[in-house]
Chain A
Amino acid sequence: QLQLQESGPGLVKPSETLSLTCTVSGGSISSSRYYWGWIRQPPGKGLEWIGSIYYSGSTYYNPSLKSRVTISIDTSKNQFSLKLSSVTAADTAVYYCARQGIAVAVFYFDYWGQGTLVTVSS
């Protein structure tokens, strides 16, 4: 059974960089059949797609966040990561990592991590 698990600091200071890692188990992140994405959800609000990465390293970012976002992949560790720079209180959210298929349910998110709350505060 595929599992995704987010990890990283739960508290980040304003203007600093938020860094999260998603560890994938029960499947290979190197598969050509999937993209891997980050989605966030501010407390009590809706979902916002941040960006996605392919095993080759190709990335797609939300234009609204593109100037501050970097997503990378480490196939040797079966992990992919998110960096969001210059954070403000508006970046406080639960951050989810998720899988996107390219063969079935193409580009929809079919497996999700449990999510991790990141609070931006001094």
Chain B
Amino acid sequence: QQQVKQSPQSLIVQKGGISIINCAYENTAFDYFPWYQQFPGKGPALLIAIRPDVSEKKEGRFTISFNKSAKQFSLHIMDSQPGDSATYFCAASPLTYSGAGSYQLTFGKGTKLSVIP
């Protein structure tokens, strides 16, 4: 059973446009929601993360929107640039100890973003 569903699988955006990637989760024990960015040939790297006590977090051109009641969160990339072209993974984990499985990150399947000039 996939616990974090990510969409779309791929996304093509014009330079300067807004890229939006959505994720939905099922496990109500999740209380930490990071996004990882992966460039070809590299390992994933943390981009931005949010806890459920806030509905939005912004870092530069990257914003996470979080809807706790709907169990959904999304990544918005404003003014998308060709250098943003990468694969993006949403993830979720319980940061509070809750037995087996605690602290493990569950990843979505990834979104390949291509920003064209």
Q: Report if A and B associate in a common complex.
A: no
Q: Which residues of B does A touch, CB under 8 Å?
A: none
Q: Which residues of A does B touch, CB under 8 Å?
A: none
